[in-house]
Homo-oligomer: A and B are copies of this chain.
Amino acid sequence: MISEKMEKLVENNSVIRQMFEEGKRMAGEFGADNVYDFSIGNPNVPAPKKVQETIERLLKEEDPVTLHGYMPNAGFPEVRAKIAGSLNKRFGTAFSEENIIMTSGAAGGLNCALKALINPGDEVISFAPYFVEYRNYVGNFDGILKETALDTDTFQPDLEAFERSVTAKTRALIINNPNNPSGVIYPESTIKGIADILLKRQQEYGSEIFIISDEPYRELVYTDTEVPYITKYYPNTIVGYSFSKTLSLPGERIGYLVIPSEAADYERLFQAVTIANRVLGFVNAPSLIQKVVAECLDEKADIRFYARNRDVLYDALKEYGYSCIRPEGAFYMFIKSPVPDEKEFVAEAKKEHILLVPGSSFACPGFVRLSYCVAYETCVNSLPGFKRLAEKYGVNTF
């Protein structure tokens, strides 16, 4: 009865979301303290105090007709100008409001960018493991997602494999930096390498290939590694940003796209993405929260909270014998499964009330993803379960 595309999606419904809803069910059955739900990137750190203060102030000071009303589909011009100014200050760019489109989170933004760029049959590349929804977003516009494997020791792109995967039908590369699910950061050398390959291929094919850089974790970095701002390296870049993680506002659906003036056919592209925002039914990013984030551009959630979670989990898991790369950013760990079929490990972990997501959901079987944006106690209290699982599987021998 439902559409054919949706039939497949219903059958393969997001394992992450199923885990999230299962976690809520288990919390009801066993008590929230006895379930270690590492399934989803739902920040446990409250939004910075300034978010609440700004909402209260705007409600007092602004005309409700403006505050809750329609504005241009790209967003309030003054909000976009403030974001452009903040980016310019931080990254030495030269954006104006005409380079910024406010979107319903990064997910909304990515869909608008893809609608503006992709014709049916066009190819979009992503490095596996990648956020599972990329495949669905590309599929919304009948594009084809092509995976390029990473080196699973470093989780850095294999540039030679990437170069081979670029064809005359390649329309975009989606990258996610810092990375979900691996927690690694692609450094400047990697970005330069990717840009060189794409510039060469564009010339070879006479095509325009875009980097769509999905950056909700840009401010969640635990090391000194710099996260390069890709528009400075490659003109055909669209940056997708979300305030979900930095300001702990994932439910509010607020983010933006950056389309640099140097991008090919910039004016029409900007207009096309703006219209996509309208016709896909977003119309505009939610209005009050647009004005709120514009006042909170220098705020961020307390990163020490996530750093503490990362340290306690990483140190213990390593001690127990698990194999895992130390995350540099975001709030995920991508742990090697002690058995080849990681879904078996996920099922065993669930018996310990530990909820993890199988790597096959990120096109990278044999691993599991752990989201550590949870309470510190959840991390600590999960450790005996992880230890029992390690002993059961003898992980320090694999």
Chain A interface residues (CB < 8 Å from chain B) = 1-7, 9-10, 13-14, 17, 20-21, 24, 40, 42-47, 51-52, 55-56, 59, 63-65, 67-73, 104-105, 107-112, 115-119, 133, 136-137, 139-141, 208, 248-253, 264-265, 268-269, 271-272, 275-276, 278-289
- Asked if B287 contacts A251 (CB within 8 A), the reply is yes
- Asked if A42 contacts B55 (CB within 8 A), the reply is no
Can you give 6 contacting A-B residue pairs, CB < 8 Å? A1-B208, A9-B279, A47-B64, A108-B281, A111-B280, A280-B280
Contact residues in B for A2 (Cβ distance below 8 Å)? 116-117, 265, 268-269, 272
- Asked if B251 contacts A286 (CB within 8 A), the reply is yes
Q: Which residue of B1, B272, B283 contacts A269 across the interface (Cβ within 8 Å)?
A: B1
Contact residues in B for A109 (Cβ distance below 8 Å)? 281
Contact residues in B for A133 (Cβ distance below 8 Å)? 278-279
A365 to chain B, nearest CB (A): 22
Interface centre among A4, A7, A43, A275 (most CB of B within 10 A): A275
Complex: A284 Cα to B286 Cα, angstroms = 12
- Asked if A251 contacts B69 (CB within 8 A), the reply is yes
- Asked if A286 contacts B283 (CB within 8 A), the reply is no
- Asked if B40 contacts A70 (CB within 8 A), the reply is yes
Copies in the complex: 2
Complex: A275 Cα to B139 Cα, angstroms = 14
Complex: A119 Cα to B272 Cα, angstroms = 24
Q: Is the interface of A mostly helix, strand, loop or mixed?
A: helix
- Asked if A272 contacts B9 (CB within 8 A), the reply is yes
- Asked if A140 contacts B280 (CB within 8 A), the reply is yes
A80 to chain B, nearest CB (A): 14
- Asked if A1 contacts B264 (CB within 8 A), the reply is yes
Given A64-B52, A136-B279, A272-B3, residue A253 in contact with residue B286 (CB < 8 A)? yes
Contact residues in B for A46 (Cβ distance below 8 Å)? 63-65
Contact residues in B for A116 (Cβ distance below 8 Å)? 2-3, 6
Given A133-B279, A275-B9, residue A119 in contact with residue B70 (CB < 8 A)? no
- Asked if A248 contacts B281 (CB within 8 A), the reply is no
- Asked if B64 contacts A275 (CB within 8 A), the reply is no
Contact residues in B for A250 (Cβ distance below 8 Å)? 68-70
- Asked if B52 contacts A69 (CB within 8 A), the reply is no
- Asked if A13 contacts B271 (CB within 8 A), the reply is yes
Q: Which residue of B3, B13, B108 contacts A118 across the interface (Cβ within 8 Å)?
A: B3
Given A117-B3, A272-B10, residue A284 in contact with residue B251 (CB < 8 A)? yes
Contact residues in B for A7 (Cβ distance below 8 Å)? 272
Complex: A116 Cα to B281 Cα, angstroms = 15
Contact residues in B for A118 (Cβ distance below 8 Å)? 3
- Asked if A284 contacts B253 (CB within 8 A), the reply is yes
